[in-house]
Amino acid sequence: MLLIMDGTNSDILTLSRWYRGTDLHLDSILSGGVHTHSAQSAITDSAAAGSAMATGMKTRADYIGMSPDGRPVLTVLEGAKLSGYKTGIVATSPVQHATPAAFTSHALNRDEFGDIGEQQVHQGLDVVLGGGAAWLKPQTKNPVKNDDGMLKTKQVSREDGENLLETIKANQYQLVRKRDGLLNSTGSGKLWGSFANEDISFEMDRRKLHPDEPSLKEMTHAAINKLSEGDKGFFLMVEGSKVDWAAHKNDPVGMISEVLSFDDAVGEALAFARKDKNTMVIAVTDHGNSGLTLGNQHTNGDYKHLPAGKFVEPLKKARLTVKGAVSQLKPDRSNLKKVLTNYGLKNLSSKEFSLMKRAATAEEFENHMVKLMAKRANLGFTTHGHTGEDVFLYAYGPGKPVGLIDNTDIPRVISDYLGFSLTSGKLAHWYVDGMTIFREKGYQVRIEGRTSENPVLVAVRGEEVLRFPENKNFYWRNDEKVMLNSVNVFDGKTFYVHVEG
């Protein structure tokens, strides 16, 4: 099992431990550190970092499961599936987001949620749990708030018009949409849980505002139960996606919410592994974010006199994250004091309260609120973006990695333990240029609908016509549907396929 907490720096782990008041599950399996840089930058994005941990190859920002020169590279999840293991992903973001996408799909742009989602549906995974329902449906209307707090409707559509929820059902998945459905799911077979149109709520907000959504711990537990039904074993990738999202906002409350949520999921993985005695568990972050520090410019002179309570007690007054609190703001702002109190901000000075009243947008509200919280909690932030430090490596079980490693070493360790190689044998060059291969075999080759939303590679030789639709795990030989062990990938120029023989 590989568990990834997105965008997490070391200070937030320390702060979360103080906040909880006990050791973290992670603390018991600390085993080393990990380099996170991408092929082009000392500070990576989640796409390049996720792809490195999925394929064993450094790549460029925004690339999903692609080499630096833009070719699809088989992932450790795909390798495990091809080697007979059950496979699954869990995320609190949309499952089409960068990290889960990097293990399950191939695209030159992480924002291609439509293509990514379609590939995931046709990958044949055994378990998929998370958000992202909007990119499974032909059309979705999402209510969101204008900057003035008023509701508006945002249209989210699959540009190809396909209804992937129907495809999921046709592929014999048990499809669940709410927490109760997950907790009460029974029977064998494949499981797909799509619990939010976009991301699942921050854990602190979820319990109070969205109780129909499951926690990361609950999804991890359900995934392990389902995947462990097989005889051979499984590969599971779990992402605590939203530490990163809170870090981008500089919201320490949200960051703690998601670190502790992730740690609870690690506890589930460790409980299974300790009982099973044959399971490797690796936990890591893909990169730092926000440059959070315990201490700031205002603590230069008195840091020696600041016990842990001076940092965590202001944070414990919050009942919602900054996003959750601001989401409750009424259009006329008549409940502004309640919103501030929900974020732990009581007894504001007249100057501070006046600043809040003048905030023109939800983003301004959030920015002012997190700055007030950081000041009260003696915290510093250096950026709203990613950071490039080495991160902690946590590991447990047979074959576990130790010491200071690179993120590209992670899939090699996993594949070695599972008994296959991504760099040698038939898996090393799995995806090939379909146009070139079929031309070499004497076919006339063309791409139909190259600029459409449903392009198809067509190869014709005599009376035989082969048709490979983009993002699907099959092709047509005349009127016969032939199933494949992987998906067809089109990058706008080249069609990549895998056909035995």
Q: HSE, CB side, 13 Å, CA atoms: give it for residue 362.
A: 19
Beta strands in 357-473 (DSSP E): 379-380, 386-387, 391-396, 403-406, 432-433, 444-448, 456-461, 464-469
What is the assigned CATH class of domain 432-497? alpha beta
The domain 2-132+174-292+391-427: what is its CATH number? 3.40.720.10
Picking from 272, 291, 283, the residue whose alpha carbon sits closest to that of residue 384 is: 291
Q: According to the model, what pLDDT value does residue 156 have?
A: 54
Catalytic machinery residues: 46
Integer distance in angstroms from the first to the last C-alpha of the chain?
33
> Residue 139: its pLDDT value, please?
67
Amino acid at 377: A
Q: What is the rounded distance in angstroms from the CA atom of residue 384 to the CA atom of residue 411?
A: 29
Specify the pLDDT at position 146: 46
- Mean pLDDT, the chain, integer: 94
Q: In Å, how far from its chain's centre is CA 246?
A: 14
| Nearest in space to 491 (alpha carbons), one of 450, 443, 460, 463 | 450
Q: What is the per-residue pLDDT for 149?
A: 40
The stretches in the chain having pLDDT less than 50 are: 144-153
User: Within 13 Å, how many C-alpha atoms sit on residue 124's CB side?
Assistant: 17
Q: Which two tokens stand for residue 467?
A: 């048709």
Phi-psi domain of 424 (left: phi exceeds 0; alpha: psi -120 through 50; beta: other): beta
Q: Quote the pLDDT of residue 193.
A: 98
pLDDT tens, residue by residue, 134-168: 999 986 555 544 433 434 445 556 778 889 999 99
Q: To which H or E segment does residue 495 belong?
A: strand 495-497
What pTM was computed for the model?
0.94
Instruction: Decide if 431 contacts 486 (C-beta within 8 A).
Output: yes
Tens digits of per-residue pLDDT, 238-282? 999 999 999 999 999 999 999 999 999 999 999 999 999 999 999
Rounded (10°) angle between helices 10-20 and 252-276: 80
Q: Please state, in angstroms and rounded to a whole number, the distance separating the CA atoms of residues 493 and 306.
A: 59
Within 13 Å, how many C-alpha atoms sit on residue 500's CB side? Answer: 7
CA distance 305 to 298: 13
Domain assignments of the chain as residue spans, ordered by start: 2-132+174-292+391-427, 296-380, 432-497
Measured between alpha carbons, how far is 250 from 323 in angstroms, rounded to an integer? 11
- List Cα–Cα distances, 46 to 8, 64, 69, in angstroms: 12, 9, 18
What Å distances lie between residue 436 and 102, 411, 439, 456, CA to CA?
A: 26, 30, 5, 15
Residue-level pLDDT at 187: 78
**Closest of 219, 267, 257 to residue 95, by C-alpha:** 219
Which residues are CB-neighbours of 165 under 8 A, at least 6 positions away? Answer: 133, 136, 137, 175, 194
Dist. CA 248–CA 152, nearest whole Å: 24
CA distances from 497 to 412, 454, 493, 494 (A): 24, 16, 13, 10
Looking at residue 161, what is its pLDDT?
83
Looking at the DSSP assignment, which residues form a beta bridge with residue 496? 433, 489
Q: What DSSP designation does 149 have? A: S
Side chain identity, residue 175: L
Q: Hey, CA dihedral for 282, 175, 78, 160, is it positive or negative? A: negative
